Structure 1
Amino acid sequence: MSRTAKLLTAALACAISLQSNMADAQDGPAQTGPAIEGEIIYRGERDLEEGGRFQASRTIVGGETMLSARAGFFAGVSASFGVSHYDFSGGRSPWEDIHEFQLSLPVRQALGETTSLLFVPTLRFAGEDGVSFNDGLTGGALVGLSWQVTDRFSFGPGVGAYTSLGSDQGADLFPIVLIDWQITDRLSVGNGSAFGATRGPGIGVNFDASDQLTLGLTIRREDFKFRLADDDRVGRDELTAVVARAQYDNGAGLTLSGFAGAELDGQIAVEDKHGDNLERQDFDPALILGARLKVAF
């Protein structure tokens, strides 16, 4: 997959998440109460291109709540904390535990009967043990316009801009496309509550098998960058995940989901402050498993 294709895939995934999470905002405060969630992810052992192998696991806890909701306007806040543990063997270990934090303030404002402005400023921290909060901190926002074409389909353009961990790399700027498509009463495209929520869900097709059970297939391009404790270096873990998902919702605020799939087209890298590769290796496809529990009040 080309670098341009990877960027566009990730951007579209973020856009669909933004649209899905705020789709009901213009109708009032429905489903915008506080919620807490936890997630565990296991990434199976995979071989590295230049020898050695690694496996990884990730644990995430978070919460979200409404700040304000009325006709035509919504504002909320979400926060999450996570730890990713990497276990390298048969070679050098470029990093071990990576700590993560994310704070977002999603806002949606109706500009008319069919047009909405979406704005999501975000602060993120990602760093190895020993990295100061300032050194691992990045920030930015997604902003876009969405047009409701029919009662089942809306779309629109947008842009995302985030600062980079590299001290002289400036900001990462990319276009996004906002899409929310309810194809039939049971089939939809979107998936705003897929796995790995703190890094953005993927593009997915969902089928409501019943009022309580949803089945889905999701693809996501992930590019995870984090500050290393060694000088000004930055670690990078890139992959494409394709997973099948099942989600159970008891209708009373409890949601349990699980997924299984594969990580493809993966690479790990260590970069200097200019964004140049000091080392970079491909890794083989590998299994990914996970489970998520969400409780809404």
Structure 2
Amino acid sequence: MLQPFRLALLACLMSAALAHADAPQYSVSLTPIWQGNAQLDDGGKAGLNSILFSASADQAMNPGWSFGLGVRLAQDHWDFESPTRFGGKAPWDTVRQGNLGFHVNYVTAGYQSFSIMPTIEYAGERGAAGSDAIGYGATFIAVQQFSETLQLGLGVGVFREFDKTSAFPFLVVDWQIDKQWHLGNPFDAGPSGPGGLELSYAATERWQIAAGGAYRSERFRLASDNTVSPGGVGQHDRLPVYLRIGYAAQPGWRIDAYAAAAFGGKLKLEDDRGHEIGSENYDTAPLFGISFSGAF
């Protein structure tokens, strides 16, 4: 899916730098999420349970280069109750997503950082044809380090999802305001949207309190036996705003509990030719999650 010359270039960069590589760094995380039933504007309710898993490996080079490989898997199980807008039928059931991403980063002597992150993604309802559920794209980031505690930058994501291409700009922030307060991006930018913003407070060396949010937009191919739009496309948009309490264990492991509200929730349905069948907004929904993660 990704252009061959781009993959060849990244492979050359890796092999040229491996002789000077430091030890690789690895990270994993597992996050179950529950979003409570919310009232649909035209009648009925919708809610979902999700499970997310991610793993990554990062390799630092000398001088200035680093690269990494990451994988993310997610499953959303939807629960619809008499959705009037869709003729009383659930527009979709279980949605599965998986993406594989690679990044190359270079830091100059003037403390500028440049990154490219190509990604290939599968997003489809259970039973969707695999070849029709593939998307691909990349994010590009440029960051300037202004001091030991402040980095600011700009990025853009460009992704091809099924039958449409989307692009979005985003702000990159890494600001250690003082020993306890930090402002940054809580998530990686990707096909679902930018990384959002989070303000955190380190109460102790192990305990942390934070608040943040990030706009999310997820498109996925529907199954060929979908009862409302066979082989069509579903879309879910929302703005989760959350509070987080985190506890850092030793060595490198942590647990984070989230309490959130999903604002501006919208469900959209298209046929297999990209024509909109209908869309439906839902009320603000409660959202809870817990994340187990480790770095080593």
Q: In structure 1, what is the Cα distance between the partners aligned to 2:259 and 2:191?
A: 16
Q: In structure 2, what is the Cα distance between the partners aligned to 1:216 and 1:285?
A: 21
The structure-2 alpha-carbon separation of the partners of 1:206 and 1:274, relative to structure 1 and needing over 3 Å to count, comes to: farther
Q: TM-score, normalised by structure 1?
A: 0.82
- Match of 1:279, SS? strand
Residue 100 (structure 2) aligns with: 103
TM-aligned CA deviation for residue 235 of structure 1 = 0.4
Q: Say whether the 8 Å CA contact 1:80–1:198 is kept in structure 2.
A: no
TM-aligned CA deviation for residue 277 of structure 1 = 2.2
TM-aligned CA deviation for residue 238 of structure 1 = 0.6
The question of 1:186 aligning with 2:177 is answered no
Q: Structure 2: where are the runs of 5+ without partners? A: 1-20, 83-87, 225-229
The question of 1:148 aligning with 2:122 is answered no
Q: In structure 1, what is the Cα distance between the partners aligned to 2:185 and 2:261?
A: 18
Q: Say whether the 8 Å CA contact 1:191–1:206 is kept in structure 2.
A: no
- Tell me the matched-pair count: 265
Q: In structure 1, what is the Cα distance between the partners aligned to 2:166 and 2:27?
A: 31
Residue 240 (structure 1) aligns with: 239
Residue 158 (structure 2) aligns with: 161
- Match of 2:162, SS? coil
Q: Say whether the 8 Å CA contact 2:119–2:137 is kept in structure 1.
A: yes
Q: In structure 1, what is the Cα distance between the partners aligned to 2:187 and 2:169?
A: 22
The structure 1 residue matched to 2:218, chosen from 197, 217, 224, is 224
The question of 1:94 aligning with 2:105 is answered no
The question of 1:202 aligning with 2:196 is answered yes
Q: Say whether the 8 Å CA contact 2:168–2:193 is kept in structure 1.
A: no
Q: In structure 2, what is the Cα distance between the partners aligned to 1:70 and 1:232?
A: 48
The structure-2 alpha-carbon separation of the partners of 1:176 and 1:29, relative to structure 1 and needing over 3 Å to count, comes to: farther
- Match of 1:94, SS? coil
Residue 123 (structure 2) aligns with: 126
1:196-244 Cα shifts (integer Å, max 9, x gaps): 9987653110111111111100111111111111444110111111110
Q: Say whether the 8 Å CA contact 2:172–2:185 is kept in structure 1.
A: no
Q: In structure 2, what is the Cα distance between the partners aligned to 1:232 and 1:131?
A: 7
Residue 53 (structure 1) aligns with: 45
Q: Say whether the 8 Å CA contact 1:241–1:264 is kept in structure 2.
A: yes
Q: In structure 2, what is the Cα distance between the partners aligned to 1:238 and 1:273?
A: 20
- Match of 2:109, SS? coil
| Structure with max Cα Rg | 2
Q: In structure 1, what is the Cα distance between the partners aligned to 2:222 and 2:63?
A: 45
Residue 205 (structure 2) aligns with: 211
Percent identity at matched positions? 24
2:105 corresponds to which letter in structure 1? R
Q: Structure 1: where are the runs of 5+ without partners? A: 1-27
1:66-96 Cα shifts (integer Å, max 9, x gaps): 2443341111111121210001112320000
Q: In structure 2, what is the Cα distance between the partners aligned to 1:197 and 1:141?
A: 9
- Match of 1:70, SS? coil
Q: In structure 2, what is the Cα distance between the partners aligned to 1:145 and 1:93?
A: 43
Q: TM-score, normalised by structure 2?
A: 0.83
Residue 77 (structure 1) aligns with: 69
1:288 corresponds to which letter in structure 2? L
The aligned runs of 1:17-56 (5 Å cut-off) are 33-56=25-48
1:119-147 Cα shifts (integer Å, max 9, x gaps): 11111111011112221111111112111
Residue 24 (structure 1) aligns with: none
TM-aligned CA deviation for residue 263 of structure 1 = 0.8
Aligned Cα root-mean-square deviation (Å): 2.3
Q: Say whether the 8 Å CA contact 1:212–1:251 is kept in structure 2.
A: no
Residue 19 (structure 1) aligns with: none
TM-aligned CA deviation for residue 186 of structure 1 = 1.1
The structure-2 alpha-carbon separation of the partners of 1:285 and 1:84, relative to structure 1 and needing over 3 Å to count, comes to: same
TM-aligned CA deviation for residue 249 of structure 1 = 0.8
Q: Say whether the 8 Å CA contact 2:26–2:56 is kept in structure 1.
A: yes
1:139 corresponds to which letter in structure 2? Y
